[in-house]
């Protein structure tokens, strides 16, 4: 489905804004589906369950998101908190798939 929403600067009404937000939310979920597909790949590739949680990598991913957000003038702390939740959900998802692939 093509994006028919207006860019933010062209919005004239709240209906325009809401249409843009709804379209963007749908695209974000699509991107999350791809991110979680990478978690399934990681579960397949990692030989040990203990490798699923990597605190160093988690910190790096969150720092990258914070830095990118701040470069756009966004609140870095809020984005870091969202990414912390995202990474934790990703770890739980990956663990579930890791376990499922190795059951009996």
Domain ranges in the chain?
8-102
In this prediction, residue 104 carries a pLDDT of 61
**End-to-end Cα separation, the chain, in angstroms:** 41
Q: Is the pTM of this model over 0.75?
A: yes
Does pLDDT of 7 surpass 90?
A: yes
pLDDT band at 55 (very low <50, low <70, confident <90, very high): very high
Class of domain 8-102: mainly alpha
Give the CA angle between residues 97, 99, 104 to the nearest 5°.
Answer: 120
Does pLDDT of 103 surpass 90?
A: no
Does pLDDT of 52 surpass 70?
A: yes
């Amino acid at each position: 489905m093509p994006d028919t929403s207006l860019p933010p600067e062209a919005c004239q009404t709240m209906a325009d804004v809401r249409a843009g937000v709804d379209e963007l939310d749908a695209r974000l979920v699509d991107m999350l589906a791809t991110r979680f597909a990478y978690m399934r790949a990681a579960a397949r590739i990692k030989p040990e369950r203990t490798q699923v949680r990597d605190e160093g990598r988690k910190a790096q991913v969150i720092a990258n998101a914070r830095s990118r957000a701040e470069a756009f003038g966004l609140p870095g702390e809020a984005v870091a908190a969202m990414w912390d939740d995202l990474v934790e959900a990703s770890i739980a998802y990956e663990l579930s798939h890791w376990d499922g692939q190795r059951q009996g």
